[in-house]
Each structure stands twice: as C-alpha cells, then as structure tokens.
Structure 1
Amino acid sequence: MSRDELWDAPAATEPIRARVTVPGSKSATNRALVLAALAEGPSTLYRPLRSRDTLLMAGALRALGAEIEDVPATAAGAVASWLVKPAEQLTGGTEVDMGAAGTVMRFVPPIAALADGPVRFDGDPRSHERPVGPLVDALRALGAEIDDAGHPGHFPLTVLGRGGLRGGAVEIDASASSQFVSALLLSGARFAEGVDVRHVGGRLPSLPYIAMAVQMVREAGVEVDDSEPERWQVRPGAIKPVTQTIEPDLSNAAPFLAAALVTGGAVTIADWPRQTTQPGDRLREILTLMGATCEFTESGLECRGSGTIHGVDLDLADEAELTPTIAALAALADGPSRLRGIGHIRLHETDRLAAIAAEINGLGGRVKELPEELLIEPAPLHGGVFHTYEDHRLATAGAVLGLAVPGVQVQDVATTGKTLPDFTGRWAALLAGTDYAG
C-alpha cells in the first residue's frame, strides 16, 4: 500500500464485542534487545514484537556484531522467540539505518561508542529533525568522539568508536525525551566508570519509560541507585543474560479499548499484566473517567462502554503517546476536554499536537492547539481524509473516529506497521468479533 493510498475506516453498526491479543511491547522489546546485545552470554526473548521499529533495532545491533536468531513457534503451544548472542567485541566500520525509530536513534549511539571503529547513523527524513543534541553532548562529556559536522546535534552523524567509554558523571537536559536518560542507563554498566546521570532542565516527561529501563537493567544484574529524584547511578559491571517474555504493548491496546467506548460494546485485551511499568496501564484510569467500566477477568482486561463518552481534563505528560487516541475519543465526547503536559510530542514522528488539531478539525471538529496542550470541544463530525504524517498513532486515531463517523478515509494506514503489524487485519477481526488469524 502506497503512502498516498486511502483506507476506508469501517463504521460500526452495532456494539463491538471482542477479545483482542496485541503483540509485544515495542519499548520492552527494544530495551531487552539492547541489554541482550551487551550481556555476557546468550539471552532468549519470548514473544518479542516484530515490527518496523524492532526490526530496525535488531538490524542495528547485528551491524555492531550481535547475532539475533529468529526462532519460530514450531510446536503446538510453543511461542516465537529471538535468541540473542552478544559479540565478543562490538564492531565498527558500519552503518546503522534508524528509520524513524526514536529508540534506535537514542539507544544505539552509546553502544556504538563501545565499538572498535566508526559507526554512521542515518534514517528517514524525519530523523534529521528529531532532537539528539543533549545525548550527543552527554556522550562527549563521558568520553565519546562524535562527528556531527554540518548539522550539530542532529542526524546523520558518526560515532567514532574506540572500543570503550570512560563514563562517569554527566548532566543532561532530557525534557525533550526521556529516552536520553534510558539510553545511558541501558549501556552504562559497560562504561569503565559506569554512569551517574542527572537531569537538568525543564519537566522530565514519560517517567514510566525510565522506570522500565531501571527495572530491566536491575533484572540483568546491574546495580542502579535511583533514590535521588532525577538522578540515576549505574555501577560498572557485567550485564547478565536473561530469559524474558515480553508483555503485550498496552499503548497499542488503546484504539481497541477505545472501540468499546465509541460503540457501547465490550473489548477484552488478553494477558494484560496486573503489575507493569508500561505507561499504557493508565488506560484503565483514563477510560473509566471517560465512561467505561474496566476490570480484570480470567480472559484479561475488559472495558465496557456505556454508550456515552465523557470529556476529561488530563495531564498526560507521562503517557503522552496515548494522546491521539484520547483526543479522538474526546472529539466524540459529551463535553469539553483538556489534554495537558504534552508539548514534547511535537518532536515525535510528527508534530502530534498540530497534526491532531488539523485532522480532527478537518472532519468538522473543534480542537484548539496550545503550546503544551489541546482543548477539544465536541462538535458534529463528517467524513473526509484523515492524514497521518507517517505517524502510526495518528493512523489508529483515524480508525477510532471512523467507527462513529461514516466516510473517514485514513491516508497511509500502513504506517501502523511501525509498531503494530497488520493493523487493518486486526481491526477487521475486532469489528467481526473474531480472533485475529494473521
């Protein structure tokens, strides 16, 4: 499907009742891949996400010398896995294709500093616009040599690996992306002096993702002290291999659960963890505020819609990736909504605040875009083209609106493959109330 092709988002004619299995977490998969590539022995990752972002991460780590074997589920009851064998010495003299994957852009340059030669980074045009300057500055302060001549603090750039990195204490402004901190935590144990990271600057967004990194690093046997707010100390030492089953991606569950609210139906997400660091877990609270009933059952997390969607006032700084779906629901609500603390998502796959406002308003909505928030007033919506700007979460938001608004056509729905393979097949199975068979 070409980027200009339009997908007719199906409208729901009755309440949706379905059980959905979403693939593994992109964030957990890519963090696990990094740790496995730096470990002292082979690791096995069960149920990893296989999407564009995670395949780009696997490709980047392979370019640096790691072996990643895709093990299919060959026996009844077996699950697919990745077997990761780290390189004895990370290899330079190579190039990394980042695509538009923020985790590859931020997590792999610190690893490249440990390689034995230069590693060039480049990706999709949007990658040249996404911020990386604070990480580049921090890596230089830790002893790395980086060539970003001509476009300081932006891609493309080359990390001149010297086979190791001194490490030590560093200050970093991670107000544009918590991934700057996670990047240093994931690799820090391999630096000669470890790493002592202190955030300086504006509000630090997406803290649950840093908590995820801390938890996974600890599970790999690394000592991390995070007792002081906005400071993380990682002691140098070996990273132990792990055997891990990747949780479902709770953020990718958002559009499916939203379908229950839009249609007054009931949707169950299988295998929803009772305890997790994933910020998508806040969907249970958010959707309840918007009119759903959410509860754990033997089958997973079930959300039931009442037929009415309520407006909300939410600070989404830690869960900002949910904004497109929540904004779509707010456009269908019975009262106004205010979504706050989300200015940093202007620097994601696209300027998400501008894109959400433009596309919902293009369907007749009333969305006011402020520097750090969106104000959404309910209004009668009509069909039309919903552009996605190569942003997977814009595409799924268009699908949610299409459930209630006949005639919505989502441009470049294939961009959902970034984190959610075959979204249209999964969406069709949702509306049919059948299990996805892809």
Structure 2
Amino acid sequence: TTRITIAAGETQGGWIVSPLRISPLHDPAQPVVAEAGVDGKSLRVRLLGSDPETRVSVVGRRYRFANWDPGSGLEVFQPERPRPWTTGYRMCSYRTGERLSDETRYILDRRAARVFPGSMLPRPGRLIYRWSEEDADQVSYETDSGSGGESSRGDGTFGTVSEEASDKRDHDKRTSTPEACDFLAFPAAIRFDLKPAADGTLEIPMEHFEGCQFLEVIASAPFASDTKVVALPASDTPRRDRRIARPFDPKSHHVATRAAAVLEKGAPATIENLLDADWRAFTTLADVHQFLYGQTADERMRDFVFLTEWPDLTEERKLELLETHHCHELHLFLARKDPEFFERHVKPFLAAKPEPTFLDDYLLGRDLAPYLRPFAWSRLNAAEKALLARALPDSRDTIARELSLRWENESPPPEEEARLFAQVLRGSDLSLTDTLGMARRELRQQ
C-alpha cells in the first residue's frame, strides 16, 4: 500500500507551506520488488524505481514467525528524511492555585530581577553554582516538578511533528521470541548488500539457500524499502541429530571431580579420560605470567614480563632491569633461577641494608628463629610463613598446621572456588601456544 498525500500551499525552498501544514515537496522515488521467483537453479528478482544506491538482501529461512524481522540491519544507511510539520500556537493562560516548578520559578525570578550596572558574574544561588564532586558522589539532587508553566493538551500545539512521519516501523525494538530452531540442520541463509543491474534485475544461485522453505527479498534505498516473500516448493525438513555423540555407560557411576597437582621436573602425570576431561598445564613461566595478568588486570604485572625471557638477556640489560625493579619478589626469583647473578649483584645489596626484613634475612641465610616470636610472627604473610617452614624443619609441622587452619577459615566459598577453577581451565581456549590444549582439541575433533 502506498500513501499519497495531496497538499495545497506555496512552494518555498522544497517545502509546501500552508497555514496549517508544512510538508516536503515530494519524497524520493522508492524501489519496488516487482517480481521475485525461482527459475531453475536461480532466484530472479526484478525491481522498479531502483537507482545506483539501491541494495538487495535475501533472507532464507525454514519457518516464519511474526516477530522474526531482520530489522534495520539490512537497510541502507538512511539520512535525515524531511518530515511534515503541523503549524499551531501556544495559548496564554492565567492560572491560580498552582505551584510553579523550580526551573520555571528560577526563570521568572531572573527575568523580573532588577539589573544593576557592574560585574557580569553569576549571582549566588543554589541553581547557579556548580556542584562539587564530593556532593555529586554522595547526594542526588532533583528539582521540584510543579504544575505551573505547562500548557495542557487542549490549549493548542506549536511545531508538532506529524504522525505521518512516525509511521515507520522500528524493527530493532521488537522483543525477542522464545522460539528455538536448533534442531534444524541448516541455519538461516543471508545474502546482503547485493547490487542490482542497471535495469533492476538480479540473479542469485539457489545453492546458497539449502534447507529453506521461503525467501524474503528486501530492496532498500536511503529513504524507503520494499519486501516480497517468495515461497519455495515443499520439502522434507532437514534435522540435526541432537543426541549425545559419546554417551556415558548407564551401568557405571560417573562423578565430576576437580584436582590440582604440582609436579617435579620429569615427573609423569596421567589423565585417564582424554575426551571428556578438561585440563590445563602451566609448563613455562610465560604461562603463569599470562594467567596472573589476566586474572588481576594489574599493570604492575606487565612491568615484570621480562622475567619470562630472563635467560636470554645480556648482563647489561639485567643490571638495568634490576635497578628499575628492585623488590623482594625479584630478589627471591633471582635467588632461585639465577643464583650466580644473585651472588654477584643482589646479595651485597641485601647485606648492606641497615634494617633488613624477613625476606632479606631468608635470602642471606641468617638465623630465622626470632621470627617465631608472637610479634614478629604476626607481621608475616602466608608466603613468608611458608618460606619460614622450609627454613626451619623443626617447626615445619606447627607452621603447616597454622596455615591449614587459616585456609579453612578464610578460604572462598565452594561457588567461588568452582568459578575460579573454571576460569583457569577456560583461560587457554584461544591460545596458540598451549601445546597440551591444542592436543586436547585435536583429540576431540577426531
């Protein structure tokens, strides 16, 4: 259906101006899908009123529902379209017994205020001064909405957009429907942004629409669009097998478990169910650094990325990084991974400290028994207590018991622990360097 509007008035700058209405002189020509049908192995489309900016999109589906609309995503970018306006007026009214809103009262007070010569700075007032950031964070200010100063619907209109301009459907605001078609073997097929020939014809191979029952041809231009539905011959519905490819044995019991293990160098690890199990191995320091940086999102972790390539650095570069990133964590890493460099450059620095900390005394091999006293013990964190247990074999059981009790009291709830465990497993799904992860994907594909 095409709506034709006839308006009388004077033509001024592409507009028809009348006492009651201002309308655009004419709308640009819109494309029309004159013919659309299947001819052999091709879909033939013929358009009327097409121009170089006209584009054609074809959507093929098995079923059609009322709320399944492609929306404006398949339409050409639309510039601002001239809209008709209805002229009008705003009546003056004298009202008593009504309270003005804060904004209206402020405007009237400013207009009626006496003007004095002098400075043009803003006058003091709550609505003039800016709100400070502290107030904006703590308090939400709302103006009082009065009823005065507002014209009623029956008092007249002024500059109202015509309802004709708002007739265009907004496809994107439609709510989604719960219909699911995941049992179909082929999804919906879409061919978009197709340019018709100069005579408005277009030919599309039907091999792109396998398993479809109907085609929706959409011809769109910058200001209008037209749609035509083409029904295809009836055919059997291609279904997808949704049964479990590798079902569990109903005669045996299956329980999902989680486990983590720390392996020594050269120690073997066995995974019994390779196809259904999820695992992740941290085999290099780069894997550990990537995981910790992804979990914490702390930019300080990025500063220590050089540790992943420490053996390949020159002596001069190592000294530059040591001077820039002096910290207990780096000292402990060098003592374990590069003891020669630690003995030459780090150990003299730690020995010259006037007030050494626990980690300094630990790395220098000093007596750590004083740290078992209550005050010194209370100042140690969990990592330092674990190092103290390794340094004092006689107190290892006592320290391990204290750490175990602390973990039982402060451990995350089971739901949080399961979420963190799942994040560790899913952290390398898109990785191209995790050899074990790629081997797992290859086994599942087989």
Q: Normalized against structure 1, the TM-score is what?
A: 0.20
Give 1 or 2 for the bigger CA radius of gyration: 2
Decide which structure has greater strand share. 1
Q: Normalized against structure 2, the TM-score is what?
A: 0.20
